[in-house]
Structure 1
Amino acid sequence: MNGLRGFLFLLKILKIVGILSGFCLILMDSALGWLILAFSSIITILVHWWNGELHRLEPTKDLNIEGQLASNILGKLSKNPTSEQIAKVVLESSGGKFIISRFGLGKTTIESLVQIPQNSPENIFQTALQIQQKLKTKTVSGSVLTLAIIRNFPNYETLLAQFYLDFEDLERGVLWHDHIFSLISQSKIPMKTGGIARDWSFGYTPTLNRFGVNITNQVSNNILMSSNLEQHKDLVSKMVEQFSGNGKQNISLIGADGVGKTTVVNSFAAKIANGSEKIPSNLKFRQVVSLDAASLIAAAPGRGEIENLLNYVLNEAYAAKNIIICLDNAQLFFEDGVGSVDVSNLLLPIIQAGALRLILTLDEQRFLQISAKNPALAQAMNRLQVKPANYDETLAVMQDKLLIFEHQNGVFYQFQALKEAFKLSERYIFDLEMPGRAVRLLEMAAGFADNKIVTASSVEKAIEQTMNVKIATANVNEEKETLLNLEDLLHARMVGQEKAVSAVANALRRARTGVRNQNRPIGTFLFLGPTGVGKTELSKALSEVYFNGENNIVRLDLNEFVNLDDVSRLIADGARDASSLTAQMMKKPFSVVLLDEIEKAHPNVLTALLQVLDEGILRDEKNREVSFRDAIIIATSNAGSERIQELISRGYDSTSAEEIIVNDLITSREFRPEFLNRFDEIVVFEPLTKENLMQIIDLMIVGVNKTLAGQKITVSVTPEAKILLANLGYDPKLGARPMRRVIQRVVENTIARKMLSGEAQAGSNIEITPEIVRQS
């Protein structure tokens, strides 16, 4: 302090000396006097500033609640409010109402929480200040106080878990509430767009107006069309820098569908149209106009006409001098096909010249294909990568979008619906990336609102209805009964093999009660055994009993995948090969996947399937992640069937034979150990006995009667005839397959003859006797 006083005293001396010297030199007509006088004036200002203001500044005090409370809260609280009074004011505030409604908490929850000792007024305010400092909000609002009341509850984490929430979700809610009010404030401020004479000095564009969409006009009237994501802001800044410089005047936004390429263009258009933004003069108030490929193609019947029309439109835009053209889904202009036309010969020189400002948005995979075909085009583009949004970014986008959805559909979204939309869209929607896939599901969920409230359950229902999957845990009595009696229902279609039936039934019960690893398939099984013992039949029975019919079985005969290049067929795009594994799974994610005769597949095909068995995902040729996590995967194999028959004949049961068979398969290099280890269970199917065949005959006769039900005719088999049929159809090596042929030859042929001869009519019962069996 003494040093500071000495320094100030020295400044005062210099000030006095400087002023006197300055005046003396001025009187002597020396210009130097003015310079010295100016320097002395600066010293005088500094000394007086210290003595008059800085010296009297009080040290900064700690934050106090009165200085931080939002005005709408402070104005309603008494000088020494009780906890109940605080809760009442909070619940009447917009922030408090927002938190309890958006998160489904209810007023009674908050009213009961303020009764606990931990929620004294002092504790509420202290916790609120801590939350405010953490979230960096301007004031302690009603939403912040609501969080403080919840946070002071000792078991707040358990409480929030009942609502499928955590405290971080509530913190996001505070920022969401502030963001909405910020949007409202921004919308009330008129955008400085240059006025009515903005475009008078530029050219007239009638053809462009006909085929183009003026994005600038749209974003000027809708603040929700642009983006506040940091990634998008960075991209917009790079676009401004590129277009304001002297380089090639084009930007190519590259990214998968749904990542927000169009939103980036909208944000760019909004930025350069806003007179309040610091934008280079050669960009300020320029208009972004999007050209629709479909409209151009529809207006011109042939390639030549399309090129002429596009050339005319682009020349018109260039002559206007204030237009930036956006070619949305620009890949449609660079390839021939349905709804697209290759006009790269026209566009390449324009892009290379850089005279006309162009923005192109392209799908990532299509861009790679175009680049391989036309390297010069790719080289001429200034590329910017638009990456998929992460969880927080996607939530931010959904929070803006739902305001539109709520207005359009007359519904109200709870925060849990947003969380569920992100989780389920990531798992079930394959043709878009984030945030697009989550936004699509969120919009779909509006149609499943409960009393006009869109909840997490609404999102689950939207996925279940559109994707034919089961998301929620089993809570319907009918489904519970099915799950509890699944073994009996399966045995209504097949005989024996109790271990295999129990294995798949247990896996399904675990899945439908939520007791399983959600990042793997419902169950993965390898069924080993001779032909005709029920391996494929169990898959069909399971699909019929629980997966809504045999049509929901995804079957791959792996004896057709014996070559190295067959891996590409496994993951082919559905547009090219609808029978590929990935294409079928996109259509039927909730299904039984049957990999038949897996031992015949090429080793590279088996390697490709490792990820499916382990993680429940497989990427198709477009690098889209396809989920198998709602499927039961059953692989069947006849490998080691002779060894199985030998062991069973020696008295081994299927369980004791299993370890021997697996070791034999590894030793013989039929399968690699790492492949076999991926299965949840390896089940050995025992050869069928004559007793089994007797039961199979009963099942087959039931099937025949179902076929005849429409004609009101029934068929029955006498016990003696059944024994004869079993003897005819018994072959330990071929299982039940010969029996199918015997039933066809004896039973079905007999029925056909009797119907044609008139012996069997509506109401008749045809009895199969030993004589009929012998004659057949």
Structure 2
Amino acid sequence: MKNRQIRELLERLNEHCSQAIEEAAAFAATRSHYEVTIEHVLIKLLEQGGGDLDRILRHFDVDLDAFWQGLLTNLGRLRANNPGKPAFSPLLFDWLERAWLAASLHYDLEGLRSLPLLDALLEISPMLPGEGWRELERVDTDILHARAAGIVAGSVEGDLHAAAPVGTPTGQPSSPAARPASGGDSALARFTEDIVAKAANGEIDPVLGRDEEVRLMIDILSRRRKNNPILVGDPGVGKTALVEGLALRIAQGTVPDDLKPVHIHTLDLGLLQAGAGVKGEFEKRLKQVIDEVRSAPQPIILFIDEAHTLIGAGGEAGMSDAANLLKPALARGELRTIAATTWSEYKKYFERDAALERRFQMVKVEEPSEENAIVMLNGLKVHYQMHHNILITDSAIEAAVRLSSRYINGRQLPDKAIDLLDTAAARIRMGQAARPAELEKAESRLEYLERRLAHLEAEQRSGIAVDDKLWQRLEADRDETRARLERLDARWRQESELVAAIHDKRHSLQQADDSEAADVVALRNASDDLRKELSNLQGDQPLVQAEVNAAAVAEVIADWTGVPVGKMLKDDIETLMQLEERLAERVVGQEHALAAIARTVRSARAGLRNPDAPLGVFLLAGPSGVGKTETARALADELLGDERYLITINMSEYQEAHTVSQLKGSPPGYVGYGEGGVLTEAVRQRPWSIVLLDEVEKAHPDVMNLFYQVFDRGFMRDGEGREIDFRNTLILMTSNLGTETIQRLATPQAKEEESAADWQPPTLGELREAIHADLRQHFAPALLGRMQVIPYLPLAGDALQVIAALKLDAVGQRLQAAHDITFRCQPEVLAHLADQGMHPDTGARHINALVDQQLLPEMSRSLLQFLREGDLPDILTLEIDTEGQLSFVFADRLDEAAAQEATA
């Protein structure tokens, strides 16, 4: 079976049958069949319906369901698991040949339609294997030959002997090349789209800020030979928009005379490949497109987006890919083409094919500056306002560009700014039309509480004991949630009314005539008053907004990245102002260190620090167990609201030089490439976080060299070449370096010439200077200079008492939550624990050991005894006797009240 014979038969098929053949080939490929069979084609002809085959089978009352099931049964028996494209089966080729003979002999047709296909099928069906063919015995061949025209009347394939267009045989819209190029069935109409026509119809958004690139494209397109520009740039910089900008200029007539009659057609390679399962079909379609472009009455420029897909597209054994088919026409200047691709794809595909590369002239499309991006967005502003039916302020456009440039990494301007602005407009519009999220959350919470209480009530009616305290808590929560919901609903309705009034005033201002100056002033004053009233009602958390402003854009950025870039709420400001005091509630005895960290954090949150560096880089040096790691946890809790935002890296695991790849990801060619690094992936997913590098002095020096650019410029390049942004992270490192020096200087015996009463603790600067030599032995001066060293002091006795109180308070909270028991402790117990836990080498960790290894086991033993008896006490008191022995005293509230009355 020769390819030339197959093509001749395929070219004689009409559109209806040709489409069925294409879909049959795709159907066979999806099922991994080795061959395209008669069954594949018949199923697709039946699916299309309305053709000759469908009308004939219905005319002779053929059981279509039984016939269909037989065809499917036959397909299920075919050999599958074909890794390549299916080929035509010999039986299918024989069927097409017989159909061509039947078309010529019985029906006097010059093309193939499903009538002669069925005629040939009736002839060979007794010889075909499988099921379903007996259903065709109902078709009387003699009647079909005699009354064919009447039976197929009304078929979508046309009347049997209707007059054909000039040059086209009856029943044969064979191939796109045989049809008029200007018709709707031409290859250009099927596989391309005229973007100049779209521009003339106003279907393309304006393109601004790319005048230089457009002029360069015009220069290249005006050449006699090799007049093919290729736009190369990162994704999202506007390569496709650049071509649309040229189409807009052509539609407006603002191009040189030789380009004014030009039409730009976008070639859709996906459509070219869709259904081209038969060998040679893709090349045939592309050749038809090229021929129609050459012969078009008006000059046509092809635009191929994602042009790297040309390489290998449609190529298979013995055939040419799309790029090789285009090369001759591109070199001679007969086919002017604009291509677009990214830098990585250009390097991977075009630079390796020098013959293809030299046929294009590169036009570099760089990411626009923030100023140019603002110009571009201003050009799109009107279209987005019309789409969302909402006002977009200039401050929103500027914020979209500035904030997306600063906080969205891995994407380019103007694409990311456009998406940001579009999302903000959609959110504001939906907020005006639907109930706000806060209101829906309150409603869901109320529904849950009422459903929970109803379940408890049902259990009580069934005689099941119900926890009275739980019932009371749920009722209190329900009442509070209902009151909050009523407040939110009332405020939402008020805000909605004010926003509607503002929109009315805005519409009136737009309709006002310039001659009515007094009315304009009155409308503006009324609008300003409404805005002030809305602002006072909303406070820090608006439910409905009147327009898209900078705050709305910042809110979207915060949701996307987790970085709180919006207007700081009063609670956030209060937290920053009292950060030292809040941290000191968890980190005891390190007031100087916490104050230094708080000052840096406040400067960063106020926007005064270098924007191209992390929020802070601190080296916390000092003895073990004094609160260095706890500082990182407390910062995550206070600044970010949850310790989930703390990224902890144990640097003792990176004592070998090759472990660098674990932090940043494996390079190409190594195991683990593409899986990301421990540190880089964590920061990429949570750019607003606290990074803790614990025990940093134990890491290999080559591992620490990785952080030079992180500490200085705020970014790290991972194993895949992506830049990971550390500018919104607070980096803390902990180390035990300088412990002996700090302990020596921080005790009164450090200066023998002074008495203990006159001794003053060293300042932060003195400690930093004293341990500098110890730090220099482990860190390079260039790396050390990028850190802010914060020495941590050994814990004194009063600090240990506070820590003991914190640990016991945590135990009391767990006891209250698990067993509803109130925990109390004598002050003497705290002094005893502090005295027992005063170990310079372990700091406060010894207190943890005392609580976990001595107190909790005894407490658990006593509680288990009460649980066994089924009568838990209400109060547990930790006491100490004169000999320093700790004991637990359990009591009920009623017994304690009676004892207090007796004492009184």
Q: TM-score, normalization: structure 1? A: 0.63
Summarize deviations over 1:256-305 as a string: whole Å, max 9, x none.
12211111222344455666743548x94344224265x789x67xxx95
Deviation at 1:398, TM superposition (A): 0.7
Give the AA of the match of 2:559: Q
User: Does residue 699 of the first structure (1) align with residue 806 of the second (2)?
Assistant: yes
Give the AA of the match of 1:261: K
Task: Within 5 Å, give how 1:356-375 maps onto structure 2.
Answer: 358-370=337-349
User: Does residue 442 of the first structure (1) align with residue 421 of the second (2)?
Assistant: yes
User: Does residue 215 of the first structure (1) align with residue 195 of the second (2)?
Assistant: yes
Q: Partner residue of 2:769?
A: 659
Which secondary structure does the structure 1 equivalent of 2:746 belong to?
helix
Q: Is the 8 A contact 1:585 1:626 kept in 2?
A: yes
Q: Partner residue of 1:467?
A: 561
Q: Is the 8 A contact 1:429 1:437 kept in 2?
A: yes
Which secondary structure does the structure 2 equivalent of 1:224 belong to?
coil
Q: Partner residue of 2:151?
A: none
Change in 2 beyond 3 A, CA 1:470/1:353:
same
Q: Partner residue of 2:268?
A: 291
Q: Aligned match of 2:617 in 503, 521, 524?
A: 524
Deviation at 1:689, TM superposition (A): 3.7
The unaligned stretches of length 5 or more in structure 2 are: 1-178, 430-543, 667-671, 751-760, 889-904
Give the AA of the match of 1:740: N
Give the AA of the match of 2:217: V
Query: Matched residues in 2 for 1:373 and 1:746: separation?
Result: 72
Q: Is the 8 A contact 1:219 1:225 kept in 2?
A: no
Task: Within 5 Å, give how 1:168-179 maps onto structure 2.
Answer: none
Change in 2 beyond 3 A, CA 1:254/1:739:
farther
Q: Is the 8 A contact 1:269 1:288 kept in 2?
A: no
Q: Please tell me whether Structure 1 or Structure 2 has the larger radius of gyration of its CA atoms.
A: 2
Q: Aligned match of 2:213 in 229, 232, 250?
A: 232
Change in 2 beyond 3 A, CA 1:477/1:316:
same
Q: Aligned match of 2:781 in 650, 653, 673?
A: 673
Change in 2 beyond 3 A, CA 1:537/1:251:
same
Q: Is the 8 A contact 2:304 2:337 kept in 1?
A: yes
Change in 2 beyond 3 A, CA 1:394/1:698:
same
Q: Partner residue of 2:737?
A: 639
Query: Matched residues in 2 for 1:709 and 1:345: separation?
Result: 77
Q: Partner residue of 2:35?
A: none
Deviation at 1:493, TM superposition (A): 2.0
Q: Is the 8 A contact 1:250 1:354 kept in 2?
A: no
Query: Matched residues in 1 for 2:385 and 2:771: separation?
Result: 60
Q: Aligned match of 1:416 in 374, 389, 395?
A: 395
Q: Partner residue of 1:731?
A: 839
Summarize deviations over 1:717-762 as a string: whole Å, max 9, x none.
5555545544665432233334434433334444554555416877
Query: Matched residues in 2 for 1:326 and 1:740: separation?
Result: 70
Deviation at 1:704, TM superposition (A): 3.3
Q: Partner residue of 1:457?
A: 551
Which secondary structure does the structure 2 equivalent of 1:237 belong to?
helix
Query: Matched residues in 1 for 2:186 and 2:743: separation?
Result: 83
Give the AA of the match of 2:786: R
Summarize deviations over 1:560-584 as a string: whole Å, max 9, x none.
4455555555555999345544443
Give the AA of the match of 2:233: G
Q: Partner residue of 2:580?
A: 487
Query: Matched residues in 2 for 1:741 and 1:308: separation?
Result: 78
Task: Within 5 Å, give how 1:500-579 maps onto structure 2.
Answer: 500-564=593-657, 570-572=663-665, 576-579=674-677
Query: Matched residues in 1 for 2:810 and 2:322: separation?
Result: 65
Q: Is the 8 A contact 1:296 1:306 kept in 2?
A: no
Query: Matched residues in 2 for 1:442 and 1:621: separation?
Result: 32
Deviation at 1:768, TM superposition (A): 4.7
Query: Matched residues in 1 for 2:812 and 2:789: separation?
Result: 35
User: Does residue 609 of the first structure (1) align with residue 703 of the second (2)?
Assistant: no
Q: Aligned match of 1:597 in 695, 699, 704?
A: 695
Deviation at 1:399, TM superposition (A): 0.9
Task: Within 5 Å, give how 1:713-732 maps onto structure 2.
Answer: 713-714=820-821, 715-719=823-827, 721-722=829-830, 725-726=833-834, 729-732=837-840
Which secondary structure does the structure 1 equivalent of 2:789 belong to?
strand
Q: Is the 8 A contact 1:483 1:509 kept in 2?
A: yes
Aligned length: 561
Deviation at 1:774, TM superposition (A): 9.5
Query: Matched residues in 2 for 1:363 and 1:418: separation?
Result: 27
Between stretches 700-709 and 754-763, larger displacement belongs to: 754-763
Q: Partner residue of 1:257?
A: 235
Q: Is the 8 A contact 1:274 1:285 kept in 2?
A: no
Q: Is the 8 A contact 1:388 1:434 kept in 2?
A: yes
Which secondary structure does the structure 1 equivalent of 2:423 belong to?
helix
Query: Matched residues in 1 for 2:355 and 2:311: separation?
Result: 13
Q: Partner residue of 1:87?
A: none
Change in 2 beyond 3 A, CA 1:750/1:417:
same
Deviation at 1:685, TM superposition (A): 0.9
Query: Matched residues in 2 for 1:725 and 1:292: separation?
Result: 77
Q: Partner residue of 1:346?
A: 321
Query: Matched residues in 1 for 2:315 and 2:796: separation?
Result: 65
Deviation at 1:654, TM superposition (A): 6.1
Give the AA of the match of 1:695: V
Summarize deviations over 1:44-96 as a string: whole Å, max 9, x none.
xxxxxxxxxxxxxxxxxxxxxxxxxxxxxxxxxxxxxxxxxxxxxxxxxxxxx
Query: Matched residues in 1 for 2:739 and 2:852: separation?
Result: 27
Query: Matched residues in 2 for 1:743 and 1:473: separation?
Result: 44
Give the AA of the match of 1:254: V
Which secondary structure does the structure 2 equivalent of 1:632 belong to?
strand
Give the AA of the match of 2:771: I
Q: Partner residue of 1:711?
A: 818
Q: Partner residue of 1:320?
A: 292
Query: Matched residues in 1 for 2:714 and 2:548: separation?
Result: 30
Query: Matched residues in 2 for 1:601 and 1:724: separation?
Result: 38
Change in 2 beyond 3 A, CA 1:226/1:657:
closer
Change in 2 beyond 3 A, CA 1:484/1:206:
same
Summarize deviations over 1:490-520 as a string: whole Å, max 9, x none.
1222222111211222223333444444443
Change in 2 beyond 3 A, CA 1:353/1:341:
closer
Identity of aligned residues (%): 27
Q: Is the 8 A contact 1:592 1:631 kept in 2?
A: yes
Q: Partner residue of 2:374?
A: 395
Query: Matched residues in 2 for 1:761 and 1:381: separation?
Result: 88
CA RMSD of aligned residues (A): 4.2
Query: Matched residues in 1 for 2:205 and 2:367: separation?
Result: 19
Task: Within 5 Å, give how 1:45-64 maps onto structure 2.
Answer: none
Change in 2 beyond 3 A, CA 1:209/1:565:
farther
Query: Matched residues in 1 for 2:594 and 2:706: separation?
Result: 27
Query: Matched residues in 2 for 1:211 and 1:753: separation?
Result: 80
Q: Is the 8 A contact 1:520 1:615 kept in 2?
A: yes
Q: Partner residue of 1:686?
A: 793
Q: Is the 8 A contact 1:324 1:358 kept in 2?
A: yes
Q: Partner residue of 1:278?
A: 256
Which secondary structure does the structure 1 equivalent of 2:790 belong to?
strand
Which secondary structure does the structure 2 equivalent of 1:633 belong to?
strand
Query: Matched residues in 1 for 2:360 and 2:620: separation?
Result: 54
Which secondary structure does the structure 1 equivalent of 2:587 belong to?
coil
Between stretches 625-634 and 432-441, larger displacement belongs to: 625-634
